[in-house]
Each structure stands twice: as structure tokens, then as C-alpha cells.
């Protein structure tokens, strides 16, 4: 019987020390492409969602936190007396906020105009904000929300 010939051993596959790195890079690229395709392909479905809110810089009409607050009332100083006690600063502005209940808008406007005229006569810039509210109320806020000129 003829002897069985054993084939020569197959040469050992040469393994590069970087082969696992190439496989990992391929997998990362596939994952990136799948993620990019999912993000761009799903844009039509997400259009029903409201847009993301973005930061809006404050407008010039924004009211800064009050440095001093004036309220009217019996036994309290008048607006002119109160303004005399406040330090003078060209950045300071007086914001008069008047709230009025139903049917009292005219009186709120008149009171706010009188306060603004007093402030203007004393050289203080004033602005008036009129709002509807549950009850009548008027106050003034001195704040440094004007840019220095």
C-alpha cells in the first residue's frame, strides 16, 4: 500500500501588530456613517418639534435690577424728595411701573405721567411701563441700565 503523503504545512499567516487597530478604525467609521445617516434622515420626522431656544441678548428696553425702589403712600416722601436722596449717576434711569385694574387705566396713565414729569424736571431719565393687573399699584425703580455716554 502506498504511503500516505502528508501535505506540507501551510505557511503561517503573518499577523501585523496593527491589524486590530484597522478593524477598530473600520468599525468606528461604520458607526460614524450610521449616526450621520440617522441624523440627516430623521430631520423630516423631527420637524414637528419646536425649535431649540437660543440665547437672546437683552434688548435696550430690558429693565436692570433695582438699585432703589420708590413706593407711594401716606407718610412716605414724595418722588422729588426721594430722588434728591439718591446718588446721581448718568447711567441711572427711573422706570415707573403702573398697574391698573379694570376701568382705571386713565388714572394710572395720569399718575405715571406726573411721576415722569417730576423725574424729568430733576434731570433723571424716566420711562413708563403700564400693565393691566388685579389691583392698582404704582412704583418707581432706579436702576443703572443705561449705557454711559
pLDDT digits (tens, 9 = 90+) for 64-94: 677 788 898 889 899 999 999 988 887 788 8
Domain boundaries, the chain: 68-143
Higher-confidence residue: 13 or 107?
107
Q: What is the pLDDT of residue 11?
A: 57
Distance of CA 52 to the CA centre of its chain: 12
The model carries a pTM of 0.54
Calpha distance 15→118 (Å, rounded): 91
Three cell numbers written together for 58: 437683552
Contacts of 98 (CB under 8 A, 6+ apart): 108, 109, 111, 112, 128, 129, 130, 131, 137, 138
pLDDT surpasses 90 at 113: yes
Report the DSSP beta bridge partners of residue 140. 70, 96
- pLDDT at position 126 over 70: yes
Convert 15-71 into a string of H (helix), E (strand) and C (coil).
CCCCHHHHHHHHHHHHHHHHHHHHHHHCCCHHHHCCCCCCCCCCCCCCCCCCCEEEE
Q: Provide the CA 97 distance to its chain's centre, in angstroms.
A: 23
CA dist 126 and 140 (Å) reads 9
Tens-digit pLDDT profile for residues 25-70: 889 999 989 888 888 765 555 556 566 666 655 555 556 677 788 8
- Does 117 have pLDDT greater than 90? yes
Q: What are phi and psi of 111, to 5 degrees?
A: -65, -40
Cα 92 from Cα 98, distance rounded (Å): 19
Cα distance between residue 110 and residue 116, in whole Å: 10
Instruction: Report the pLDDT value the prediction gives residue 116, as an integer from 0 to 100.
Output: 92
Amino acid at each position: 500500500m502506498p504511503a500516505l503523503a502528508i501535505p506540507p504545512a501551510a505557511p503561517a499567516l503573518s499577523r501585523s501588530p496593527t491589524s486590530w487597530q484597522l478593524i477598530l478604525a473600520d468599525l468606528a467609521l461604520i458607526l460614524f456613517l450610521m449616526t450621520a445617516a440617522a441624523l440627516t434622515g430623521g430631520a423630516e420626522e423631527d420637524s414637528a418639534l419646536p425649535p431649540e431656544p437660543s440665547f437672546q441678548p437683552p434688548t435696550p428696553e430690558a429693565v436692570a435690577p433695582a438699585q432703589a425702589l420708590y413706593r407711594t403712600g401716606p407718610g412716605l416722601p414724595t418722588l422729588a424728595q426721594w430722588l434728591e436722596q439718591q446718588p446721581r449717576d448718568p447711567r441711572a434711569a427711573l422706570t415707573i411701573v403702573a398697574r391698573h385694574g379694570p376701568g382705571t387705566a386713565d388714572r394710572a396713565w395720569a399718575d405715571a405721567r406726573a411721576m415722569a414729569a417730576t423725574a424729568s424736571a430733576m434731570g433723571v431719565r424716566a420711562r413708563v411701563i403700564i400693565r393691566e393687573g388685579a389691583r392698582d399699584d404704582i412704583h418707581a425703580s432706579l436702576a443703572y441700565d443705561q449705557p454711559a455716554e
